[in-house]
Amino acid sequence: MQPDTRCLHAGDTVDPATGAVMPPIVTSVTYAQESVGEHRGWVYSRANNPTRHALERVVADLEGGERALAFASGMAATATALELLDSLSHVIAPNDGYGGTYRLMSEVRPRSAGLVFSFVDCSDPGAVRAAIRPDTRMLWLETPTNPLLRIQDLAACAAIAREHGILTVVDNTFATPLYQRPIEHGCDIVMHSATKYLGGHSDVLGGFLVARTAELGDRLQKLRSMAGGVASPFDSYLLLRGIKTLAVRMERHSANALAVAGFLAAHPRVVRVHYPGLPDHPQHALARRQMQGYGGMVAFEIRGGAAEAKAFLAHLRIFTLAESLGGVESLAGYPATMSHSAMTPEARRAAGINENLVRLSVGIEAASDLIDDLRQALG
C-alpha cells in the first residue's frame, strides 16, 4: 500500500461496533470490569483509550514501527524518551536542533536526572563517533534540523550507535513519515511533534514516540502511563483527522517550498538559502537518497543583520509572524528570539543560527501569492 493510501486506511480504524468510518471520541476515564482482574482491554484512560489507540495504530503503520504512543505534546514525548536512561548517562544531540529540545537537555535534565549532554554537528558521522564515551547511552538526531535544514545520515549514525549499544532516537517532525522513515535506516525510536505537519491545522498539541520493537514500545508505554503526559481523546481525534490529508498537504507544502526557495536563492537581498531540495544544498545528494521529499520548511539569511531581518518580517502580509510550523497557513519566524531564544548567543553562532536568519513554514496557499509577498517585503 502506498503512503498516500495508508494515510487514509492505516490502522484499521473503522469502529467495529457501529461501522463509523472515523473512530468515536471516547471520553470515559474508567471502564466497567467483568470481575476482579477481568476486563475488555480498557481500564483507565491514562493507560489506554480507544480513540488514542486508533491514532497510535495509524502512526505506527506510517512509520513502520511495532508500537506508537501519543503524547500531549512533542516535548512530553521527548521528555519521556529521556526517561529510558539512568542517571549520569551521556547523550549526544545536535548543536543546531530545535530550541525546545536544547532547553530541556541543557537546563532541565542535567539538574533533574543527572544526564550529561554533548551537542555536536550530527550531520558529520565522524563527529558523532568522536563524541561517544563509555557512558553514552543515547544518540538523539533531528533531520532535517530546525532551523538550518541540515541533513543527518541516518543509516551511518545508527550503525555507529549499534556498534556501541546506544539507542538512536530521531526527531522526524520536519520530514513526516511520508518523506522519511528512520526505522528503515536502523534507528530505534522516532519522535514527532504532531502539533506540526501531522495535525496540520495549528489547532492541536500532540507528540509521538514510535518504537522499532514491541519490547521498547512496552517500556515507553509504562513510562508514559506513570508520568501521565498522554494525548486527550479529543486531541487524538483531531490528529486522526489531520493525518487523513497529510499526503495531499505535504505535496503542496513541498512544491510551494521549492518555488519559494528558488525565488529567494535568486534575490539580491538574500545571502544564503537553506533548503535540501535545492541542488546547491551541501547535503542535497544525501537528502535525495534518504528522503522521499524535501518538506515545507525554508530558512534564509537576509543581507545585513538583525535590523534587516526584523524589518522584512514586519512587512509581510500573507506570511504570519508566529511560533510553530507545519500548518496549512504560511508562517515566518525569527529563530534568534523565538524558537531558539533559549540558546546563548555563543551557542547560536556556533550552530550557524545567525541574527540575519529567517525561518519560513511554507503553507498551501498559491505559490505565486507567497512569492509576491516575499518580494514586496524584501523591497
Give me the active site residues, please: 46, 98, 171, 196
Helices 74-82/214-227 angle, 10° precision: 110
Is the bond preceding residue 144 a cis peptide, omega within 30 degrees? Answer: yes
Helices 306-314/367-378 angle, 10° precision: 130
What are the cell numbers at 128? 558523532
Helices 233-244/246-265 angle, 10° precision: 70
- 206 near 77, Cβ under 8 Å? no
Nearest one of 247, 248, 284, 250 to 265, comparing CA atoms: 284
Q: In what order do the strands lie in the sheet with 357-361?
A: 270-274, 297-302, 357-361, 331-333, 320-321
Helix (H, G, I), strand (E, B) or coil at 12: coil
